[in-house]
Amino acid sequence: MNLLTLPARNLLSQKLRSTLTVLGIAVAVGSFVALTGLTRGLQDSYAQGVGDVGGDYVVSQRGTYSLVSSSISEDVVGKLNAVAGVEEAAGIVLSIAEVEDEANIFVTGWPDRSFLWQSLVLEEGVLPQGDREVVLGRTVAEALGKTVGDEVLIQYEPFRISGISVPDSVFNQNLAVARLSSLQALLGRPASVSLVQIRLARPVSPEGAVAVKAALAGVSPMIEVSDSAEFAENMDFVKTVDAITSTVSLVMILASSILVANTLLMSVSERVQEFGILSAIGWTPGRIRLLVVVEGVLMCLIGSVIGVGLGVGAMHLVSWLRISAGLLEPYLSLGIVGEAMFWVVLVGPLAALYPAWRVTRAPPSAALRGIR
């Protein structure tokens, strides 16, 4: 017997109890992976989608909570367009709309003849010409079972699908694009836009880009200028969701540590004679305590591996649901897995410390008295 085989044997001898504890750890880790992955996937999807349309900078309302809550007057758009070094300032409307009474997707309105339309690669059909026409991304078109020429209800209003696009980013594959004036009328915001995409005049040097950015920021104290990655990172909505998911995930991991401690305490109380025998044959108190800690670590490691699989499955399930189409996308990285494993491997041994200390409180002679 050694410090690897004996803990494994002890866990297998209590299959139901060990299984329930491992599942508790797995649920905690799975929740951490799923919640963190979806939150960071949301941020990554935003950054890719905003940067996939050919703009150099994004102008939003200062302190905006989310993509759809930003509001900028069209007068400001004109002033941004007049800044030296700016080729075009294209104001866009962006919103989350209910489609076909069963899904929520991002819809955006682009100004006629802006550079944004050049980024739209059509698989079939043409760009919107009329006020009630829209281009759907391939993913959302397939999810809705729609094709060119069909009608789709956006905010309970019929739009004709003029084309199907195949953009690079996942975000834009789930996007519906209409003419700016059409979407402004639908949403009741005729004199404002959500964001402004800035395209700089070519050629542009890094120093020139910095200078133009400063000039753009000086147009109004109510706006904020950033590139796509900065914009996604700075949104208060993403920060809030990240804080909530981190807190919930850590609470669940801490709760799983209670399961580990409870399982080990019950195991220790039932194995007093076993520990007495180990002590009698020469095992030191430190080695016996280490045995209990190793059992806790083993349960945590097994639960973590299962939990990562559960988390990945949960992410794909949530992103597959039509109600969240285009809003949530799976995102898994070694960093997320490492973060989850770190917390569990940290909490697991800590949870095992009290049972490990308690196991060596009784002298070997007292433990051996129960043997007949």
Grade residue 16 by pLDDT with cuts at 50, 70 and 90.
confident
Q: Is 67 exposed, middle or buried (0-12, 13-18, 19+ CB in 10 A)?
A: buried
The CA-CA-CA angle for residues 258, 260, 265, to 5°, reads: 95
Grade residue 47 by pLDDT with cuts at 50, 70 and 90.
low
pLDDT at 344: 76
More confident residue, 359 or 167: 167
**Domain locations in the chain?**
5-45+238-368, 57-226
Distance CA 59, CA 51 (A): 12
* Type of residue at 269: S
8 A C-beta contact, residue 30 and residue 250: no
E strands present in the chain: 57-61, 72-73, 86-99, 103-110, 122-125, 133-137, 151-154, 157-165, 175-179, 192-193, 195-200, 223-226
Residue 165 reports pLDDT greater than 50: yes
Give 173-208 pLDDT, tens digit per residue. Answer: 778 999 999 999 998 888 899 989 999 999 989 899
Separation in Å, CA 199 to CA 113, 218, 237, 336:
14, 17, 26, 34
Which of 275, 260, 280 is closest to 354 using CA atoms? 260
- SS3 (DSSP) at 222: coil
How many angstroms separate the first and last alpha carbons of the chain? Answer: 23
Grade residue 362 by pLDDT with cuts at 50, 70 and 90.
low
pLDDT at 48: 63
8 A C-beta contact, residue 154 and residue 164: no
8 A C-beta contact, residue 325 and residue 140: yes
Strands 151-154 and 192-193: unpaired
pLDDT at 228: 66
The helix (run of H) or strand (run of E) holding residue 49 is helix 15-51
Structure-token pair, residue 293:
């800690």
More confident residue, 249 or 155: 155
Structure-token pair, residue 265:
């305490």
DSSP 242-302: HHHHHHHHHHHHHHHHHHHHHHHHHHHHH-HHHHHHHHHTT--HHHHHHHHHHHHHHHHHH
Average pLDDT of the chain, as a whole number: 80
- SS3 (DSSP) at 114: coil
Give 59-91 pLDDT, tens digit per residue. Answer: 988 877 666 778 899 999 999 999 999 999 999
pLDDT at 335: 80
Separation in Å, CA 372 to CA 273, 281, 367:
11, 18, 12
Residue 368 reports pLDDT greater than 60: no
DSSP state of 54: S
pTM, entire model: 0.63
| Torsion of Cα atoms, 42 then 45 then 47 then 49, to 10° | -140
Q: Which residue has the tokens 């039509």?
A: 322
Residue 309 reports pLDDT greater than 60: yes
Burial 342-353 (b: 16+ CB within 10 A, else e): ebbeebbbebbe
DSSP state of 232: H
Structure-token pair, residue 176:
């519906």
Highest mean pLDDT among 22-26, 155-159, 238-242, 312-316: 155-159
Alpha carbon 233 to chain centroid, angstroms: 12
